[in-house]
A and B are shown apart, each in its own frame.
Chain A
Amino acid sequence: MELTVETLSNEIVQVRLAGKLDISGAEQIDLHFSAICGSRRRIIIDLSAVSFLASMGMRTILIGAKAVKANGGKIVLLKPTPQVEEVLSIANISTLIPLVHDVETAIGEVSD
């Protein structure tokens, strides 16, 4: 699992995850992802390159999202594959964190 960060503006960052977000993948990104969610307030999580998502991966995302919300920030999930979106839906994550399919809408979701 890889995590890369791109700054889109002074406040918005796009976090791109790539690979399998299984229990190992979640462990690999946990620290870095937590640090980003603890320090940034406008976050787009690009899931387009995530081929697999299981509970521990969702846990990492949800804990990060809670931290962002607690800081008064906004977070959005971008372009999950259909299978990953199905997993997010079954766990009701997609009702708690906005889920969009294009960058412009994602930017709108996290902007004031």
Chain B
Amino acid sequence: MDDGLIIRAEIGELARVSEWTKAFGQRFALRESTLFAIQLCVEEALSNIVRYAFAPGKTLPRPPREVRLSVQEIGDAIDLMIEDEGMAFDPLKAEPPARPTTIEDAATGGWGIHLMRHFARTLAYERRNGVNRLTLRFDR
């Protein structure tokens, strides 16, 4: 069974995403830890899209710029797909931040993809016809 949501690429839309994930979490009877992992990864992916994918000055879709989310049960796993028409960006190629030794040296960002790699079983990226598609798979 597929379940989808379309949002504008704006921070204010994240509350709708939170409600959507809670709803399918109940429908699929997901463990709390699985729902936490999904919500964290969605937050990280969408934060990146909202902040970077539609940077000004690029040739990109006119507003409203949308992000499409869908979720599907695949056996003992949950697949979450996030699609946007922003700038091409393969998150799987991003390097994690260097492990800091002091608080002064610590980067104040760049953990999002690192967190997604830890909390999702697998990540997959493809770009086709101007669309970035990130698929995250989670254990139920």
Contacts of B112 in A (CB 8 A): 54-55
8-59 of chain B: CB within 8 A of chain A: 11-12, 14-15, 18, 33, 36, 39-40, 43-44, 47, 50
Q: Please report the total number of A residues contacting B with Cβ < 8 Å.
A: 26
Contacting pair B39 A52 (CB below 8 A): yes
CA distance A59 to B47 in the complex (A): 13
Q: Does A111 contact B (CB under 8 A)?
A: no
Q: Is the interface of B mostly helix, strand, loop or mixed?
A: helix
Contacting pair A87 B100 (CB below 8 A): no
Q: Does A8 contact B (CB under 8 A)?
A: no
Contacts of A95 in B (CB 8 A): 100
Contacting pair B118 A90 (CB below 8 A): yes
Contacts of B111 in A (CB 8 A): 55, 58, 90-91
Q: Please report the total number of B residues contacting A with Cβ < 8 Å.
A: 27
Given A52-B39, A83-B33, verify A24-B106 contact (CB < 8 Å).
no
Contact residues of B with A, CB < 8 Å?
A: 11-12, 14-15, 18, 33, 36, 39-40, 43-44, 47, 50, 99-100, 102-104, 106, 108-109, 111-112, 114-115, 118-119
Q: 8 closest A-B pairs (Cβ-Cβ)?
A: A91-B111, A54-B43, A96-B103, A90-B118, A55-B112, A59-B108, A83-B36, A55-B111
30 A-B residue contacts at CB 8 Å? Answer: A22-B18, A23-B11, A23-B43, A23-B50, A24-B12, A24-B14, A24-B15, A27-B11, A52-B36, A52-B39, A54-B40, A54-B44, A55-B43, A55-B111, A55-B112, A55-B115, A56-B47, A58-B111, A59-B109, A62-B103, A63-B108, A83-B33, A83-B36, A87-B40, A90-B114, A90-B118, A90-B119, A91-B114, A96-B102, A96-B106
